Amino acid sequence: MAETLDRYDRHIMATLQEDGRISNQQLADKVGLSSAACWRRVKALDERGVLKKYTALVDPEALGYDLCVLIMVTLIRHQEDHAVEFHKAVQGYPEVLQCYAVTGDTDYVLRVIIQNMAAYDRFLNEKIFSLPGVSQVKSNFALREIKNETAIPIDL
């Protein structure tokens, strides 16, 4: 797919990652296209799934989410039904911002935001430990955020 993205598409994507609320006219001016041509390109990027979502980034602490936890989860064994149940459950947990199936000593890494230690204890006991096939859970608490970017690097 990357080969089909020209410099205008790349410039559009880079600009939208910086400011998703930019008007079409401002975007067109910035990338050097007419308003109509820019709109068509953005629409095509949307339809092809290159642009996945438009969103606002919210400060978790403003809503009382004071803890960020990286959780490593290991399943008992690689059984398809355990993995499917785990995937489905994690999709429904709003505290889980990201979940990756990984290689190495653990099967999954989750990034979770939560209000406090008591809430984290409840999350583990009521949600994670109750899932079938969960063998081991290791938690690492973020002390401070050093870098948290959402923009994908784009060569212009």
pTM of the entire structure? 0.87
Pair 43, 64 in one domain? no
Q: Are 113 and 67 in contact (CB under 8 A)?
A: yes
Side-chain half-sphere CA neighbours of 110 within 13 A = 24
Give the tens place of pLDDT for each residue, 75-129. 997 678 999 999 999 999 999 999 999 999 999 999 999 999 999 999 999 999 9
Q: Which CATH number goes with the domain that contains 43? A: 1.10.10.10
Q: How far is CA 140 from CA 62, 65, 69, 85, 148, in A?
A: 22, 16, 6, 24, 17
Is the pLDDT at 32 greater than 90, yes or no? yes
Average pLDDT for 127-152? 96
In a domain, 153, yes or no: no
Pair 43, 68 in one domain? no
Question: Using 50, 70 and 90 to split pLDDT, how confident is the model at 133?
Answer: very high
Average pLDDT for 53-60? 92
In a domain, 147, yes or no: no
In a domain, 19, yes or no: yes
Pair 66, 135 in one domain? yes
Q: Which domain holds residue 124?
A: 60-141
What is the model's pLDDT at position 140? Answer: 98
3-state secondary structure of 85: helix
Pair 41, 90 in one domain? no
73: which residues sit within 8 A by CB, 6+ positions away? Answer: 86, 106, 107, 108, 109, 110, 128, 134, 136, 137
Pair 137, 110 in one domain? yes
In a domain, 53, yes or no: no
Q: Hey, what are 123's tokens?
A: 């999350």
Pair 73, 20 in one domain? no
User: Can you count the helices (H) and strands (E) in the chain?
Assistant: 5, 4
Is the pLDDT at 33 greater than 70, yes or no? yes
Side-chain half-sphere CA neighbours of 18 within 13 A = 12
DSSP class per residue in 100-117: EE-SSS-SEEEEEEESSH
Number of domains in the chain: 2
What is the model's pLDDT at position 2? Answer: 54
Q: Hey, what are 20's tokens?
A: 């998703």
Pair 40, 74 in one domain? no
Q: Which CATH number goes with the domain that contains 91? A: 3.30.70.920
Pair 19, 68 in one domain? no
Give the tens place of pLDDT for each residue, 1-28. 456 899 999 999 999 999 999 999 999 9
Pair 43, 65 in one domain? no
Pair 135, 83 in one domain? yes
- Cα dihedral across residues 142, 145, 149, 153: positive or negative: negative
